[in-house]
């Protein structure tokens, strides 16, 4: 476990490097984000930090996403989910039912994207590939719902 002081030092350093004023509310947001596993919404962070202003939460998340500290994925309805960017290249699997967001890495996909990039005129600055799926948990639940429906209908 990392000592609390060292996390605070790293948070302060990161905020300084981004050109942000280091305030206690921003520290609280950054500290909470550093503890997160998986994807989260800005609103869920706002709810977890009732003592921090909504604008501060959203602004800090936006700054960290723009700086590449956070990775942003869009749900099918367009609402964003964020996760810590672990600095390896990845794509997202986004469940259309339960809205979970998982990181996805594929050497084959990367090979294809490199080939495509070589065919595109100009210089490719970046890309984003997100797969909208029904995750295994939702598929299992869907199967259970169909089985119940069939049983209820005398099937």
- Chain segment 55-113, per-residue pLDDT in tens: 999 999 998 888 878 888 899 899 999 988 766 678 889 999 999 988 888 888 888 88
CA 91/CA 65 separation, integer angstroms: 16
Helix (H) or strand (E) holding 18: none
Q: What pTM was estimated for this model as a whole?
A: 0.66
Least confident of 14-18, 34-38, 85-89, 101-105: 85-89
Query: Average pLDDT of 120-132?
Result: 86
DSSP assignment letter at 40? B
Q: What is the pLDDT of residue 87?
A: 61
pLDDT at 22: 85
| pLDDT score for 154 | 67
Structure token pair of residue 97: 């039912």
Q: Average per-residue pLDDT in the chain?
A: 84
Q: Residue 29 corresponds to which tokens in the numbers above? A: 């947001």
Domain boundaries in the chain?
1-87, 90-155
Percent of the chain clearing pLDDT 90 (strictly above): 33
Altogether, the residues listed in the chain come to a count of 155
**pLDDT confidence of residue 140:** 92
**CATH number of the domain at 90-155, please?**
3.30.1490.190
User: Which CATH code, of 2.60.40.10, 3.90.480.10, 3.40.50.300, 1.10.10.10, is assigned to 1-87?
Assistant: 1.10.10.10
């Amino acid at each position: 476990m990392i000592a609390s002081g060292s996390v605070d030092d790293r948070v302060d350093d990161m905020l300084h490097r981004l050109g942000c004023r280091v305030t206690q509310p921003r520290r609280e947001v950054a500290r909470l984000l550093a503890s997160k596993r998986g994807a989260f919404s800005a609103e869920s962070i706002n709810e977890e930090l009732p003592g921090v202003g909504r604008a501060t939460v959203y602004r800090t998340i936006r700054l960290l996403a723009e700086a590449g500290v956070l990775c942003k994925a869009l749900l099918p309805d367009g609402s964003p989910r964020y996760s810590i960017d672990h600095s390896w290249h990845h794509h997202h699997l986004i469940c259309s039912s339960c809205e979970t967001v998982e990181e996805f890495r594929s050497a084959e996909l990367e090979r294809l994207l490199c080939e495509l990039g070589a065919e595109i005129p100009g210089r490719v600055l970046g890309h984003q590939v997100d797969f909208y799926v029904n995750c295994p948990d939702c598929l299992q639940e869907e199967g259970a719902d169909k089985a119940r429906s069939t049983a209820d209908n005398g099937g």
